[in-house]
């Protein structure tokens, strides 16, 4: 791996996430259904009170999810603080998700899947794929986050651990973990209400070196919409 001064806003490679923003500034049409291409990411702006619904269109795709407080991107959805707040690793309907300053940011209002999601694993990045044997650049969720924010005129101050929707990471009694296929079904939805103005970012995870995106490990598209 190349040694360099790390800048969290700089991406290691590019894909359509950099040029396929749903709008120039991240604002969306209410109730319109938007597509996240396979292996790519999208950033959207949410007003307090708006609803974000993410659809696992084919039932096998993991969505890496982040959110930043619009007024201060140094505050972000924090999985370690959420686990402490909830005393659980599995957010469920009615749970409030908090920032690294313990400010309520999102409320889970819908989950039509069996409820298996991950709050433990970091997002994939280019060093991860190098460790998995890749020699040419590989799409990854960390760069999707960076590019999706850049596409709406924003710069990432930090790459937090994501909320991995539908990602199946069993935690064994001895603390061991494993990467397993999703247990969700085609069309399952996960909905959240914004408790503050925020910027949400979603990445259709490009991972195919492990079976998290189904037994055939084939990344696929996701859809989402925003409601009032």
- Which pLDDT belongs to residue 154? 95
Q: Taken in order 70, 152, 121, 218, is the CA torsion positive or negative?
A: positive
- Asked if 79 and 220 count as a contact pair (C-beta separation under 8 A), the reply is no
Structure pTM?
Answer: 0.95
- Which pLDDT belongs to residue 4? 66
- Which pLDDT belongs to residue 156? 85
Alpha carbon separation from 78 to 83, 127, 164, 179, 221 (Å, rounded): 9, 22, 12, 22, 25
- Which pLDDT belongs to residue 68? 98
- Which pLDDT belongs to residue 83? 98
Domain extents in the chain: 36-227
The pLDDT tens digits along the chain (228 residues) read: 556 688 988 999 999 999 878 898 999 999 999 999 999 999 999 999 999 999 999 999 999 999 999 999 999 999 999 999 999 999 999 999 999 999 999 999 999 999 999 999 999 989 898 988 889 998 999 999 999 999 999 998 889 999 999 999 999 999 999 999 999 999 999 999 999 999 999 999 998 888 899 888 789 999 999 998
- Which pLDDT belongs to residue 2? 56
Q: Taken in order 39, 138, 62, 156, is the CA torsion positive or negative?
A: negative
């Amino acid at each position: 791996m190349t040694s360099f001064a790390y800048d969290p806003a700089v991406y290691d490679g590019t894909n359509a996430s950099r040029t396929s923003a749903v709008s120039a500034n991240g604002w969306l049409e209410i109730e319109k259904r938007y597509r996240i291409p396979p292996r790519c990411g999208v950033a959207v702006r949410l007003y307090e009170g708006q609803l974000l619904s993410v659809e696992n269109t084919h039932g096998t795709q993991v969505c890496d999810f982040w959110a930043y407080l619009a007024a201060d991107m140094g505050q972000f959805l924090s999985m370690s603080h959420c686990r402490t707040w909830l005393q659980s690793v599995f957010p469920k309907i009615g749970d409030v998700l908090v920032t690294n300053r313990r400010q309520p940011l999102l409320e889970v209002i819908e989950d039509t899947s069996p409820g298996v999601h991950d709050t433990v694993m970091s997002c994939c990045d280019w060093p991860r794929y190098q460790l998995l044997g890749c020699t040419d650049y590989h799409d990854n969720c960390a760069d999707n986050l960076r590019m999706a924010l850049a596409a709406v005129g924003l710069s990432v101050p930090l790459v937090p651990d994501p909320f991995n929707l539908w990602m199946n990471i069993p935690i064994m009694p001895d603390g061991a973990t494993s990467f397993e296929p999703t247990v969700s079904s085609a069309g399952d939805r996960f909905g959240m209400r914004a408790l503050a103005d925020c910027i949400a970012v979603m990445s259709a995870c490009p991972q195919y070196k492990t079976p998290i995106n189904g037994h055939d490990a084939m990344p696929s598209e996701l859809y989402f919409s925003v409601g009032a």
